[in-house]
Amino acid sequence: MTRFKRTCAALLAGLALGGFAALAQAQASDWPQRPVRVVVPYGPGSSPDILARIVNERLSARLGQSFIVENRPGAGGNAGTEHVAKATPDGQTFLLSVNAPLVYNTILFKNLRYDPFRELTPVTLAVSSPNVCAASIGMGVDSVKGWLDAMRAKPGQFNFASTGNGSISHLGVELLKAKTNSFAVHIPYASSSQAVTAMLQGDVHFACLPGATVMPQAKAGKLKVLAITSAERSALLPDVPTLKESGVPDIQAAPWFAYMAPAGTPPAIVQRMNQALVAVLREPEVVEKLKGQYFDVIASTPEELGRFMREEEARWRPVIQRAGLRPD
């Protein structure tokens, strides 16, 4: 190829790239032109579902198009998360998922059918929430000491609920069992609301779940709150002690909630969605609504979420491997 032809080819390539960039920018400026799905990989009434419905109402108003929650529960959040990972990256499908399907299950499952680090694009780390450890009234305990003593005295006679294998509500209790030489049987459910219902019905004895689903029942006197699993007391639950304060060190197991898009979604659309989400999450009325559901707003950039997920993977991999945790 002559120098002239090489120069022409380079110019044409540059024009093409510029054209694609301009097209992507134009698409973003017009986006969304039709209703957008926000897939929640848990059932109605779950903490991600509650968050999505609060945020979607304001997203719809801000962007002038409907944002629709689509619940796709199953496999501890893996089913809905995989669905978005395999979806067409056209800006019409987003995901609101949590710790396990986005990070922990890459460590726990040998044959996970999607790769969140390769097949999903970070949008924003939206909120975090303290997990609240609560016992059914029938378990007859009112403190962490009484809870642990009961499990040690009758190993295998108590069971606990979680939002699925590998969820933070599962891993947190498994770490508790390992560090306190106690035992209880794990029973996974499709959502935190189902897990709370199981406690209320006496099907399970305790669980460590997001405050949004636990606290309304606790305030009604139907569950006994024991502790939270975060490193320090939460301003949202100032009267509830941490596990560390209750004599159980080195357990930090708080759920976080992140928006993702299928890999390949135009960066300009991802950026526009990020900007809209951050703006909504910082609206004073939304902040107050989220506080009422025990959510702490984070509202990160896509890059910050990507780094955070890698940090979480590095932090939990040795913990999970050392404890020998496996999906049931």
Q: What is the pLDDT of residues 36-76, one digit of tens each?
A: 999 999 999 889 999 999 999 999 999 999 999 999 999 88
Tell which residue, 105, 117, 120, 54, has the closest CA to residue 288.
Answer: 54
What is the rounded CA–CA span in Å between residue 54 and residue 60? Answer: 11
| 7: pLDDT strictly greater than 80 | no
What is the rounded CA–CA span in Å between residue 156 and residue 158? Answer: 6
Q: Which residues contact 219 (CB under 8 A, 6 or more apart)?
A: none
Q: Summarize pLDDT for 12-37 with one digit per residue, the tens.
A: 555 554 444 444 555 667 899 999 99
* Mean pLDDT of the chain, nearest integer: 90
Residue at 169: amino acid letter: S
| 205: pLDDT strictly greater than 60 | yes
Q: Cα–Cα distances in Å, from 103 out to 20, 25, 42, 46, 170?
A: 32, 31, 16, 19, 14
pLDDT reported for residue 21: 45
Per DSSP, helices labelled H in 162-283 are 168-180, 192-201, 211-219, 267-281
Q: Summarize pLDDT for 106-130 with one digit per residue, the tens.
A: 998 888 999 999 999 999 999 998 8
**Hey, is 16 helix, strand or coil?**
helix
Greater pLDDT, 274 or 255: 274
